[in-house]
Chain A
């Protein structure tokens, strides 16, 4: 294979692998911007993956499968929101519980579905016109599903919402200083619930993408730690939806290369690459001034009780 076609297929696959990371990260950014860490992404993604697969296999409708995955992700996140916002439980522990529960439940329910290929996966698109551009066309405008473009579009939309609208100000102020937001008449509880559930919806779609589009099949634990990478990406992207785009595709490339380079290096060592890189990237951003710019929302992880400091 010559260099050009190698590069084309690598970029194209990196883009495809980055999609679940992008959706998950966009959701987590919104939850954390409102002040709630959700470590349950891995659990929500795997539940989404299983739901999308089971529904698509039963109904033949991948779109409906993804919709159900979104709903399940949202419901799972609702549990987390209830735990952390209403009951003011520890956000880290509640998220971990959600991940354990999700992985267990998806594994339990998915036993009968294991190993069967999906008859009717999400179709890939060929964009008319654009796909004819030499090199770039094959890289970016062929063999992608609608979720690739929808994800990027969503990133821009969510950036606008967060930084250019009153709603965005409300979300950010709830995450920065809920006491002040409350005094200004913003319903802190409602905003937090909405953002956490929205995050779960996106994580559910991200998981569903894995089982109905990227690798149309169901295997237990098929999210393989992507949910945790999402948490790292959220920090790496400085809680900014636009930065999440290239972060997600960078890690998509790493995941893809860990399969691609197996002819040169042992597959086990390659597979640890994305996880090692997640640490390296976060460590590198700890040097110098970058750390200052990357400041987390002020009230991240802190439950809000009116009248308490």
Chain B
């Protein structure tokens, strides 16, 4: 039986050298500031801070401070132990056994047990919870998840079992070598059953909440701020340096920048669109831009309601080639984003981009080829609607791209903006020609991106369907050469061009230089304040 433990997955040397894994890694000789607090700006009020209900980045940032899952991530986005000290997988990656540390405790002193995870995961899938993230349990491939979500099986039939208090066994429907990566996701964090049973929906309110992370929630004023303080029961509390965490909800990005400049908080992400070059000049020690695991793309409707011309790969290719991505990235956004020729971002773990010919061409060469293709296709007077959700930056990009199409290819576009909720409806119903879209990885592995374009998945709003592509993705989990398969799949996308990748996101942010320990290379933007510390001003 092939056994793989965490030690072979991450760097053995690093784990052994560090001995017991410390939270904040403060080098010797560094003088810490007296005030060990950390504060940041959040764009929106998280709708919920219940791990099984939470959605969106603001909520995830709260969960990452208050709760700890089986595995978490280090500064490079690599898996490190959370509540689990390690795991073993069976030969075909359909069964994972996690060993839980015996000193993990809830903020009320109760031990964190395997049963807490079983309860939490069943709760996520249970239709009675009505979680908009229930799909994550299904995506993770846990046995019976799909049936439970559909109401065809009882929640306690979920393929997760507490062998004893410190051993958790997970059974999957099909092989998923990347399953441990998924346990870092907020949906799979444990929750404290007695607290939920006592307080019902109000269990996450300050005073009621019991959590197992490095911090406990003190206050939560909706649309204003929340604050948390160090959890003395946290298993690694001795190594947690930051005592207090607070977050200010500020919708307006320019206002947030002014308040950051006034020193009201430490971290501002993202900075206002287009302001990064100026900020980099003004605050060289504070301004950073790091790659993000997200792709900005245009989806081309090849479904029933889509225009005939978009069913022709030549037209799709021509549209993709005619977009000068450098103009968008370097002149419009200016925040360190990268031009995209693949749907999967380059920064994704285990992704090797295929050789894409047109990626190496000059823009003139691409334009030339685009003209040839559109002539070959032979459509006259092409006119498409271009749908995007109301936002200044989306409008600018749409305007520039429609100009490029019009000037280079004679393809006219009608810009059509809808506010978010309406836009989602329109996209889901497939009632568009071309639509702006974006996708962020749920875990750091190419399948989180490539899976979006499988036949029939709800996110595939352009109704792309390619048998060869689907077959490759089916093979990937059990394949010896997973990387090679992903490369092949991506090559199909660059030929078929069901979606036009435009750019890969970057996270441009301002961080008070006194704050150290921020994970600059974590492409999923997962950060844990327990790893931070504030140095004394020199």
Q: Do A and B bind each other?
A: no
What residues of chain A have their CB less than 8 Å away from a CB belonging to chain B? none
